[in-house]
Structures are given as structure tokens and as C-alpha cells.
Amino acid sequence: MQFTQAFEISKWDQSTYDESDDVVLGRAIVGKIFSGTLEGTSSAELLMVSTPAGPAAYTAVERFEGSLDGRSGSFVMLHGATAEQTTSPGQVLANTGTGELAGMTGTVTYEHDEEGPRITLDYELP
């Protein structure tokens, strides 16, 4: 099943862990709130690269906890993108689903543009 919905960023704590020759390596702890088919919260750690021209890339590991279409549990997503990409593709990591979401597989895409932040989740449950 596939759906797209908006979400809210509830936390953004960013720090730098390496900086050399105008290339900055950073980390952010990000919290999100989901209301809709995906109902709950998530916590993500992002590793990021920035240059004098702006953001260059990020990769994230994110755990969602709540419910998906009425089924409760949690799962972990891996996603990332470079500055040249308009979306951030990723996947639901195998064997990370818990509760009624155990065995979940799928792909995830994040978008941030003039319409605001959105997630598209294409998933299968046993």
C-alpha cells in the first residue's frame, strides 16, 4: 500500500563534529510528528555535509513509533539525499518492525518544498 502525508518537525538539534577547508561535517537529532495514516512520532539522527555553496548531502537513520493504518508498533527507516536531488529516497529496514508492524517492508521518500514536508511510504505487511 502507498500513501503520502504531511508531517511536522518538532525538534532540530544540530552540531558540527568536523570542519576543514570550508567543508563542514555535522550531525542533527530530529524529531517528527505524524498525523494521518501514519500516526505517531519519530526520532532520527542525520549526518550532514555542508560546503560554502550550501548543504551537500545527508544520510539518516530514523525510528518511527505509533501506528500505521491502525496497526501499532515501530519500524526503522534509512534515507538520504544529495543537494542535487529533489526527494530523499530510502527504505524500511528489514527485521526492524515491532508489534503489529513486525515483518514490514517497503520504501520511503521524503520531500521538502513549497508544499511543506511530506513522506510517501510504500509498504507491505505480512
d(CA 97, CA 125): 10
Assigned CATH class of 2-124 = mainly beta
pLDDT value at residue 61: 98
d(CA 43, CA 106): 19
pLDDT of 113 over the 90 cut: no
pLDDT band at residue 56 using 50, 70 and 90 as cut-offs:
very high
Question: What average pLDDT does this structure show over 102-126?
Answer: 95
- Average pLDDT in the chain: 96
pLDDT of 121 over the 90 cut: yes
Q: How many CA atoms lie within 13 A of 41 on its CB side?
A: 6
For 76, other C-beta atoms within 10 Å of its C-beta total 19
d(CA 15, CA 38): 29
Query: In the chain, which residue ranges form alpha helices assigned H by DSSP?
Result: none
- Is the pTM higher than 0.85? The answer reads yes
